[in-house]
A and B are shown apart, each in its own frame.
Chain A
C-alpha cells in the first residue's frame, strides 16, 4: 500500500518538487559533452603554441565559435548541477547551504556568460 496521495503519485515529483529534472539534465549535458570534449581536446592540441592572431582567426571560423559556445553552455550547466549535489551532500546548515548554492550558481552563470561573451567578441572580429 502506498501512503502517497493520488495527486502526489501522479505528479511524481518527490520532496524536492522537481522530479528527475536535475538527474536528467546531468545526463543530457553529459552525453552532449562526450563529442564536445573530444572536439575541445583536438582543438587545444591543434592550437598548441599558436599566437594571438592564429587563435583569433581560428575562433572566427563559425564552426569553431559555435562549437566553443556549445561546449561552454554544456560544461557550465553540467558543472553547476554537479557542484550543487556536492554542496547539498556536505553542507548541512540550511542558511549556509542556500548561500553556498546561490554563490556557486551565480558564479557559474557569470563565468559561463563571460566565456561566451569572449568567444563572440573574437568571433565577430573584436
Chain B
C-alpha cells in the first residue's frame, strides 16, 4: 500500500519513556526470544529420539557455560512472558486498566519473573547437588 505524503502517527522516539510502555515492548521481545528457544526444545527432543549419543551431545551443549547462560535468559523470558501474559488476560476481561493498577501489576510482573527465575535456578542447582 502506498502512503504517499500522508501524515504518519508519531514515532516511538517522540514519547517519554514509561514503565508500562517498556514492559509492553518487552512482552513482544521475550515472545520472539522464546520462539528462538523452541529451536533448542526441538533439537533436544529430536536428539532424544535419535539415541544416547545425540542426546549426550545436546546435554553437553546445554550444560556448557554458554548453554547455561542461554537457558538462564530463556528461563527469565519464559517467566516474564508467562506473568505478563496473565496480566494481559486480565486486561482482556476488562480488569486492571486503572493507571495505578496497571503500573503496580507491571512492577509485580517484573519482580515475580525475576524471583521465579532465581528460585528455579537455585532449586535446579540444589537438585543437581551443586549447592
- In whole Å, how far is A78's beta carbon from the nearest beta carbon of chain B? 9
Chain B CB within 8 A of A66 CB: no
Contact status B28-A122, CB under 8 Å: no
Residues of B within 8 A of A (CB-CB), count:
30
CB distance from B60 to the nearest CB of A (A): 12
* B-binding residues in A (CB < 8 A): 27, 30-31, 33-34, 37, 41, 45, 48-49, 51-53, 55-56, 59, 75-76, 79, 82-83, 86, 94, 111, 114-115, 117-119, 121-122, 126
- Tell which of A27, A30, A53, A126 touches B49, judged by Cβ atoms closer than 8 Å: A126
* B52 neighbours in A (Cβ, 8 Å): 51-53
Give Cα distance in the complex from A126 to B128, angstroms.
28
Q: How far is the CA of A121 from the CA of B45 in the complex (A)?
A: 10
Within 8 A of A (CB), among B29-59: 31-32, 34-35, 38-39, 41-42, 45-46, 48-49, 51-52, 55-56
Contact status B89-A30, CB under 8 Å: yes
A59 / chain B contacts, CB cutoff of 8 Å: 48
Chain B's interface: helix, strand, loop or mixed, by majority? helix
Q: Which residues does chain A contribute within 8 Å of B55, judged by CB atoms? A: 51-52, 55
**In the complex, what's the smallest C-beta–C-beta distance from A27 to chain B, in angstroms?**
6
B residues within 8 A CB of A75? 38
A35 to B112 CA separation, bound complex (whole angstroms): 17
Which residues on the B side are within 8 Å of A48 (C-beta)?
124, 127-128
B123 beta carbon closer than 8 Å to chain A = yes
- Chain A residues whose CB sits within 8 angstroms of the CB of B32 once the complex forms: 82-83, 86
Check if A41 sits within 8 Å of B45, measured CB to CB.
no
The contact of A82 among B31, B42, B92, B127, by CB within 8 Å, is: B31
Report if A118-B45 is in contact (Cβ < 8 Å); known contacts: A45-B124, A48-B128.
Answer: yes
A82 to B46, Cβ gap below 8 A? no
